[in-house]
Amino acid sequence: MMAESEPGFGLVVAGHVDHGKSTLIGRLLYELDALPPEARARVEAASTRRGRPLEWAFLLDAFQAERDQGVTIDSSRVRFHHDGQSYRIIDAPGHREFITNMVAGAADADAALLLVDAADGVREQTRRHASLLHLLGLSQIIVVVNKMDLVNHDQSRFAAIADEVRSYLGELGLTPLTVVPVAAATGANVTQPAATLAWHHGDTVLSALARLTAKPSLADQPFRLPVQHVYRVGERRLLAGRVTSGKIKRGDPVVLSPSNRLSAVAAVETWPPETSPAEAMAGQSIALELTDDLFVERGEVVSHEADAPMETNVFAARLVWLGQRPLEAGDGLTIKLGTARHPVIVEAVRARIDPDTLARDAGGIVSRHGIAEVLLRTPAMAVVEMAGGPPALARFVLLDGFDVVAGGTVDMHDYPDQRLSITRRSSNLTPVLHKVTADMRVRQKGHQGGVLWFTGLSGSGKSTLAIALEQALFRRGYHVYVLDGDNVRAGLNSNLGFTPEDRAENIRRVGEVAALFADAGEIVISAFISPYRADRERARQAAGSRFHEVHLSTDVTVCEERDPKGLYARARRGEIADFTGISAPYEAPDSAELVLDTASASIDHCLETLVEYVTTRFRLDSRSD
């Protein structure tokens, strides 16, 4: 579904069915003398057979089914050259049933022509296509108000439509480059100003095209090679695939994602082998031989280490749902990212977006052709890019069995790049064995060491309970210490901010420190929002069986009413970015060892529950009863 980018300026022509997209393209090619004689002859013959005047739409309606039904089914591509620029016109189907092909066409474009019929005005598919163009990251849009001949070239009609389209695009955050009145059937204002539209002193379609700016070349973007196949040739292992962006040359150090293994390029191979170059760039299909004989599978991504793609097992996304059955939270599907396929769970439908009004609701079930913001989670690490980055990994499709049921873009604004948390940079390490064993420490202290990991929203009572529990346990003879978020950030983690990546690193460090305390026989109470499930899971892995997750499940409404540090109020005023529960996500635990709600239970009751939990699970005399 997601086409690979091709050379030339990609121009998708979108809009409601029968608003004249194919006619405009045919007329444009005809006036630029870009049609071979045989193509014009085919159009003339087709028009004559149907008893119509010359019908330029037949030029692109390549399929017999389209001619029979009078609709454009596939996304046709036509090339032409003008004034030193090469263009690829992508004629995207306007019919609602073929919206999949429209998305496929638009995904490969640099800019869009959005057509509106002067007589029909802005219709449902006009708005839907505009929303999809926005979803796919297209910002350069030329609005063409076509069929002005059907409204007697009425200037006021054009002005009303132009205002409506500008208003709608403005709500999407888009500003059209220009709005052009056109009669594609007669050629008015396609390449030359027309006397019938003399009141229009702006662009023709052709002059508007000259004002478009091409996206940065894929060759100038970071190097990406999603591995399609791995071949064993003699003693050589070759990683084959298409360079989707950037450049690579022999000797370059590279990293494989998501396995995070490092190597270097021993050879760049193409076919035939005697023409193999020393380097390759975006658009070329190549094979790489690495200096290390690594086991690599289809789906891994080769890149330079300095600008590697992101890795995550959870991310937000915007998608258009194409499946016959509705989409809802909990659905299990397959996601295709580059050449990789992963099982994926739709963890939440965060919002549904009405393409007509752009109104957002709180989620629920997404019907066919619906646009939604969702949260996706994969069991293993996936390789992604932010929308606007190298496109091969920024866009995805969802599969239900073998059927494509959605296309969308990745949004990692709220989530950290987990590569930073799982990459080990140290090597040649030898563990030091202690003469004082864990059992000796336990017998000396009279209780097990462990980590009580408090997680919950700001204001849920983590610090209050942690301090109270530390005091209560200390009085009972326990060796106990509190690691509090504010205290740790004043020292150990004072170099970290509050971006998703910094918050993940903050928790990684705290998790490792807490595990060391627990290994020394201490009971560590950590009080951190720790919003991401993956970060808490890494802290659990660090401490092993000594880790006990305590979820303070107090609702955000209650926490905001308390607002003990005034942080919610500042976040609401926009003074704090990425504030958990307001403008950043909080992922509640699936199966915490203990759940407490300070909205429904008093602090004293929660403290009593915690003391009993520790007494039951940590004391040696209790465990031996």
Active site residues: 530
C-beta of residue 374 within 8 angstroms of C-beta of residue 317: yes
Amino acid at 117: D
| Phi/psi of residue 556, nearest 5 degrees | -60, -30
Quickly tell me which residue has 């229009």 as its tokens. 200
Query: Whose CA is closest to 56, among 34, 40, 33?
Result: 40
Q: Which two tokens stand for residue 334?
A: 């397959």
Instruction: Please report, for residues 15, 20, 140, 571, the alpha-carbon distance to residue 114 in angstroms, rounded to integers and kept in the order given.
Output: 5, 11, 10, 38
Measured distance CA(210)–CA(200) in Å, rounded:
18
Structure tokens at 443: 């017998």
Cα 40 to Cα 21: distance, rounded to the nearest angstrom: 18
Whether 180 and 145 have beta carbons less than 8 Å apart is answered as: yes
Q: How many CA atoms lie within 13 A of 285 on its CB side?
A: 7
3-class secondary structure for 348-405?
EEEEEECCCCCCEECCCCECCCCEEEEEEEEEEEEEECCCCCCHHHCEEEEEECCEEE
**Which neighbouring-strand residues pair with 232?**
237
CA 181, CA 158: separation in Å to the nearest integer? 7
